[in-house]
Amino acid sequence: MSVLKVTQNNFHEVKNSEKTVLLDFYADWCGPCRMISPIVDEIAEEYPQYLVAKINVDDEPELAESFSVTTIPTLVVMKGGNVFSQSSGARPKEQILDMLEG
């Protein structure tokens, strides 16, 4: 599945998703964000059971604020519209999958 680019306008798709959601808060200029970006893309492709979404913190500061994001990348796993877990900093693929399965 492709990665959903999240804005204020389509955030309801994340909020109301029946699938477990992986949210990647990032910025284009952030090195660690660019390191995990291809990993997040791979997860989207290989695991259709998840909704994988990215939020650009420069374009969507309110969304970043609402998740108390002060480090990028920040990865958030949501289940049933609620935050299930949240982690700051780049993570290898295995650890991201552990977050989703946890």
Partner 1 sequence: MEYIYDMIIIGGGPAGYTAALYASRAGLDTLVVERMSAGGQMALTGDIDNYPGFDEGVDGFTLGMKMQQGAERFGARTKYAEVTGIDLVNKIKRVKTSSEELLAKTVVIATGANPRELGISNEQRLIGRGVHYCAHCDGRFYKDKTVVVVGGGNSAAADALYLSRLVKKVYLVHRRDTLKATKIYHEPLLQAENVEFVWNSVVEEFIADDRVVGVKVKNVVDEKLREIACDGVFISIGRMPVTSFLNNAVEIDKNGYIVADESTKTNIDGVYAVGDVRTKALRQVVTAVADGAVAVHYAEEYLAHFSD
Contact 87, 75 (CB under 8 A): yes
Rounded to the nearest whole angstrom, what is the least distance from the CB of residue 1 to partner 1 in the complex?
21
Known catalytic residue at 30: yes
User: Is residue 100 part of the contact set for partner 1 (CB under 8 A)?
Assistant: no
| H/E element, 84 | strand 82-88
Q: What is the DSSP letter of 70?
A: -
Q: Which of 22, 33, 52, 96 is catalytic?
A: 33
C-alpha span between 66 and 19 (Å, rounded) = 21
Of the CA atoms within 13 Å of residue 83, those in its CB half-sphere come to 12
Q: Which of 30, 44, 63, 100 is catalytic?
A: 30
Which residue type does 49 have? Q
User: Is residue 17 part of the contact set for partner 1 (CB under 8 A)?
Assistant: no
User: Is residue 30 part of the contact set for partner 1 (CB under 8 A)?
Assistant: yes
User: Is residue 74 part of the contact set for partner 1 (CB under 8 A)?
Assistant: yes
Give residues in contact with partner 1 (CB under 8 A): 29-36, 38-39, 68-72, 74, 86-94
